[in-house]
């Protein structure tokens, strides 16, 4: 299927420090493009892949599983790693979950992580029904555009495909027990008002990480898609400062 305009993957050649950006569930690289452009303008090499099943039509997402999404970011990471000296990985929402899984598997190859409202669980009891509902319902109402700033569109699906949502739950289950393997510094952005990912996610993730260098920043003027919201400049500048502090290569 053709890619929706604005949802395309993007890359930008810069210096010897690379950043892999990972978008969220039912979303697209559009939610991270301004962030990526900011980092690229400041001398970083940036890669933001489009996860399989995303950015086309929601039915395509039901044909994929978390292993497909992870395989794509692992491929993109390997390709980026060959072009630069150091890599930072940054993810939004489920992109944060995939970022954590990648860090569990490639801890020695990643200098630092930046997470924006990552997910690892849900307190919504209805989610427990999805493994059953997926056999009778292809989708439910979507979760897109939880953005406080008016007039912003993250280019995401208006439906939540249930087979894919069930697989997201499986990704949480495999990622959670291995969070102790995440040993690099983590910059953690959390919106104080988030209608998609509950605050319990931040506590659960931070309490299990295998690093003592976790820097939490609470965003008070953004909802879930904070990378396109009022606090986006805070995320952009803070992530760049994080890279410059930790990188052994001049940025």
- 61-94 pLDDT, tens digit per residue, is 999 999 999 999 999 999 999 999 999 999 999 9
| Annotated catalytic residue, options 31, 47, 93, 191 | 93
Which position among 28, 139, 194, 231 bears the catalytic label? 194
Of 159, 191, 224, 239, catalytic: 224
- Among 51, 77, 94, 50, smallest CA distance to 197 is for 94
Q: What is the pLDDT of residues 123-148, one digit of tens each?
A: 887 777 787 778 877 888 889 999 99
- Is 224 an annotated catalytic residue? yes
E strands, 132-184, in order:
139-141, 159-161
pLDDT at 128 (0 to 100): 79
pLDDT at 200: 97
To the query of whether residue 12 is one of the catalytic residues in this protein, the response is no
- In this prediction the pTM is 0.96
Under 8 Å between Cβ of 209 and 103: no
First to last CA, the chain: 39
Distance from chain centroid for Cα 206? 16
Question: Which pLDDT score, from 0 to 100, does residue 149 have?
Answer: 98
Confidence (pLDDT) at 46: 98
Beta pairing partners, 10: 48
Positions of the chain with pLDDT under 70: none
Task: Based on the residue annotation, tell me whether 207 is a catalytic residue of this protein.
Answer: no
Contact assessment for residue 100 and residue 182, using Cβ atoms and an 8 Å cutoff: yes
* pLDDT of amino acid 250: 83
């Amino acid at each position: 299927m053709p890619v929706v305009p604005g949802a395309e993957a993007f890359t930008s050649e810069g210096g010897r420090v690379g950043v892999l950006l990972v978008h969220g569930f039912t979303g697209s690289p559009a939610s991270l493009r301004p962030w990526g452009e900011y980092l690229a303008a400041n001398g970083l090499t940036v890669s933001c892949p489009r996860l399989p099943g995303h950015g086309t039509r929601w039915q395509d997402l039901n044909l994929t599983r978390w292993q497909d999404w992870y395989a794509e970011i692992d491929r993109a990471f390997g390709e980026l790693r060959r072009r630069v000296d150091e890599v930072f990985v940054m993810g939004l929402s489920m992109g944060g979950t995939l970022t954590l899984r990648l860090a569990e598997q490639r801890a020695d190859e990643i200098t630092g992580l930046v997470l924006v409202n990552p997910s690892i669980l849900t307190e919504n009891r209805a989610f427990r029904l999805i493994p059953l509902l997926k056999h009778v319902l292809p989708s439910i109402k979507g979760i897109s555009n939880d953005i406080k700033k008016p007039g912003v569109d993250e280019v995401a699906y208006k439906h939540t495909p249930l087979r894919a949502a069930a697989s997201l739950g499986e990704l949480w289950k495999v990622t959670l027990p291995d969070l102790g393997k995440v040993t690099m510094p983590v910059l953690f952005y959390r919106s104080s008002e988030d209608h998609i990912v509950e605050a319990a996610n931040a506590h659960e993730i931070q309490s299990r990480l295998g690093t003592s260098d976790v820097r939490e920043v609470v965003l008070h003027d953004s909802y879930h898609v904070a990378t396109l919201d009022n606090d986006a400049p805070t995320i952009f500048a803070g992530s760049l400062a994080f890279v410059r502090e930790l990188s052994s290569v001049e940025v």
